[in-house]
Structure 1
Amino acid sequence: MKKTNRTDWRHTVMPAVFTWLKEVKPGILEIDFDATKKHAANILKVQGKGGSRMGGLVGSGTLGENSYLTSEQRLALLKALSEVAKEYSVPLISGAAAETKEELAKIVEDLATIGVDSVMVMPPKTTTVPSDEEMFAYYELAEITARGAGVTIMPYNNPDAAGYHALSTNLLRRISVLPNVTALKISTIDVSIIETLMLENNDLKVLAGVDTVTVHAGLAGACGGITGVGCIFPKASVTMQEYVVNGEWAKANQISRAMNSISYLDAQPLLMEYLKYAFAIHHNDTDGGLRTFGNKLTQQQIDDVKARYILAKERLEALDLI
């Protein structure tokens, strides 16, 4: 299949896939490229009840252990995922964050060389909070660099769970009109931010990044979303987005409520560890789900994830969405 360069993200949901790891020596983990590609392909194969599929592939994001990967690991991972994106004719999106705008520009250039279509740019990884002008300069250089490299950028506001610096609404307005910004990713449970931006600019494209608010974000004007829970339950996630697009809010909300026990985890600080383990339960590979460069889950947390997964699965089975 020929890869498209569609980066307008209209009416679509995209999976933020997990980076699967293998233990090559006791205590030594490496990326399992084959398993990661297989899981990504299986998600992209799934159709919703209306026949649509995921509209893109997000690799090396928050759920893909982005914060823990070296530059070499990140590029190798995305090069592998670019093969899957090409096979299914969807754009490939990567997360990117850095301390300085110059470091970020280099990351954007490198990502463009290995098949990434759009770079999901997180705020700078600094301990001190940058001013709006410093933050704007950071995104402006990323946009200029992306334009020169032939890719687009997707500014990413995620203050709730991931601990990144929050982008003010005024800053989001300024960034959104830069030429190579094709969408904003807003990961917050406060969807009024989305509604405010959309009321001011109806042409703006906003992707919701928290699974608990997919329906509310759609009501506020979001054109789609990036999902973690959709990696575990892709049929449900795609079908819910189909209902949102068609304005069938009651049906969409029914699915959202069915998934709520596990979607809740998407807005927690350990969202990557929690959802990766839930994904592993779904695929009968709990040991694999506990292999992470991130935090180790306690037994209490493991038990909680299991209970939440089982409840969501039972509810979705009743709706014929597994």
Structure 2
Amino acid sequence: MKEINSSDWRHSVMPAVFTWLKESKSGALEIDLDTTQKYAADVLKIHGKGGSRMGGLVGSGTLGENSYLSTEERLNLLKALSNVAKQYHVPLISGAAAETKEELAKIVEGLATVGVDTVMVMPPKTKAFPSDDEMYDYYELAELTARNAGITIMPYNNPDAAGYHAISTNLLQRISVLPHVTALKISTIDVSIIETLMLENKDLKVLAGVDSVTVHAGLAGASGGITGVGVIFPKASITMQEHVLKGEWAEANKISQALNSLSYLDAQPLLMEYLKLAMGIHHNDIAGGLRTYGIKLTQQQIDNVQARYNLAKERLEILDLL
């Protein structure tokens, strides 16, 4: 049976927190920093049944309205979340993507100035598919920039998401050994990618990025994960990861099945809108959960999220994991 290495945040689950919005005096939406900080702290306070807590804090990611924020808004948000991360002694993680490696380097430098410890680096945002050598140069400069800034990077492979180029397993292996690459984030329901990587390097640290495959990713060799559903039900998410790290697969799978109705939403194109609404329902604040810069949900979609949330809550209550 494996022992949990609590000193290494890569052997844990980390919440990808939502960016909460409020109406300004003009009626436009703006970031509610106080509420965003409060909910982030609330999640980091929670313990799993085995006594562990979340190992890091992910801010301004896909679930954090990232693609809708200006650079200034994003840096202010991350500066606020950095204070929360420091309070709970966990690393702050955020993402970066650009069309060119030079543009990416500037983003990495900027994130380092506001307290980000690890940058999830997505593939280039180009229409043409870059060659492996071009992709390697892109990640190599990001790693060097991070190293000079005193932080690390986490190459982020998201082959299931539209708009991001898939990183081949051969390239992932090449960039994984750069000095300041701390882990790889693999966001896909095809966990054979993780298994292939681990067969080549058993010491590699891989974080799963899709809630519905947490247990399967652990079986394939992932040491941790980044969760959206865990922001809503943190005790369940942490406890599931505790079981995964101990190799207690049957117990982990019970929790995975209990979360299934919500975890399904994490792999959908409107994952931010769906899961943010579920978080609002969880806190008796449906209106707040519907405040987003993203897509406005239909009543049918709202009802579907409500039903999925209710089912997960009922199942988790039976397991004493609310």
TM range (shorter): over 0.9
1:10 deviates by 3.5
Q: Distance in 2 between matches of 1:163 and 1:260?
A: 26
Q: Which residue of 2 aligns with 1:3?
A: none
Q: In angstroms, what is the RMSD of aligned CA positions?
A: 1.3
TM-score for the superposition, normalised by structure 1: 0.96
Deviation readout 1:127-154 (Å, 9 max, x if unpaired): 2222222211111110010000000000
Q: Which residue of 2 aligns with 1:285?
A: 285
Contact residue 10 and residue 207 of structure 2 kept, 8 A: no
Deviation readout 1:82-124 (Å, 9 max, x if unpaired): 0000100001001111111111100100111111110011111
Q: Distance in 2 between matches of 1:172 and 1:33?
A: 35
Change (3 A) 1:129 1:176: same
Q: Which residue of 1 aligns with 2:119?
A: 119
Q: What amino acid is the match of 2:306? A: K
Q: Which residue of 1 aligns with 2:3?
A: none
Q: Distance in 2 between matches of 1:135 and 1:219?
A: 29
Q: Which residue of 1 aligns with 2:310?
A: 310
Q: Which residue of 2 aligns with 1:211?
A: 211
Q: Which residue of 1 aligns with 2:17?
A: 17
Helix, strand or coil: the match of 2:259? helix
Identity rate, percent: 81
Q: Distance in 2 between matches of 1:243 and 1:263?
A: 18
Is 1:222 the counterpart of 2:222? The answer is yes
Q: Which residue of 1 aligns with 2:59?
A: 59
Helix, strand or coil: the match of 1:10? helix
Change (3 A) 1:277 1:162: farther
Q: Which residue of 1 aligns with 2:245?
A: 245
1:29 deviates by 1.0
Is 1:108 the counterpart of 2:101? The answer is no
Q: Distance in 1 between matches of 2:23 and 2:127?
A: 32
Q: Which residue of 2 aligns with 1:276?
A: 276
Q: Distance in 1 between matches of 2:122 and 2:198?
A: 21
Deviation readout 1:155-211 (Å, 9 max, x if unpaired): 111121454211111111111111110100000000000011001101100000000
Aligned length: 317
Q: Distance in 2 between matches of 1:47 and 1:279?
A: 19
Deviation readout 1:277-317 (Å, 9 max, x if unpaired): 11110011111111111111111111111111110010001
Q: What amino acid is the match of 1:282? A: H
TM-score for the superposition, normalised by structure 2: 0.96
1:8 deviates by 4.8
Q: Which residue of 2 aligns with 1:39?
A: 39
Helix, strand or coil: the match of 1:119? strand
Q: Distance in 2 between matches of 1:251 and 1:191?
A: 20
Change (3 A) 1:71 1:7: farther
1:218 deviates by 0.5
1:9 deviates by 3.2
Report matched runs for 1:180-195 at 5 Å.
180-195=180-195
Name whichever of 160-169 and 223-232 sits farther off. Answer: 160-169
Report matched runs for 1:142-161 at 5 Å.
142-161=142-161
Contact residue 258 and residue 315 of structure 1 kept, 8 A: yes
Q: What amino acid is the match of 1:178? A: L
Change (3 A) 1:153 1:7: farther
Change (3 A) 1:143 1:203: same
Change (3 A) 1:278 1:163: farther
Report matched runs for 1:88-107 at 5 Å.
88-107=88-107
What are the ranges of 5 or more consecutive residues in structure 2 without an aligned counterpart?
A: 1-5
What are the ranges of 5 or more consecutive residues in structure 1 without an aligned counterpart?
A: 1-5
Contact residue 9 and residue 205 of structure 1 kept, 8 A: no
Q: Distance in 1 between matches of 2:263 and 2:13?
A: 15
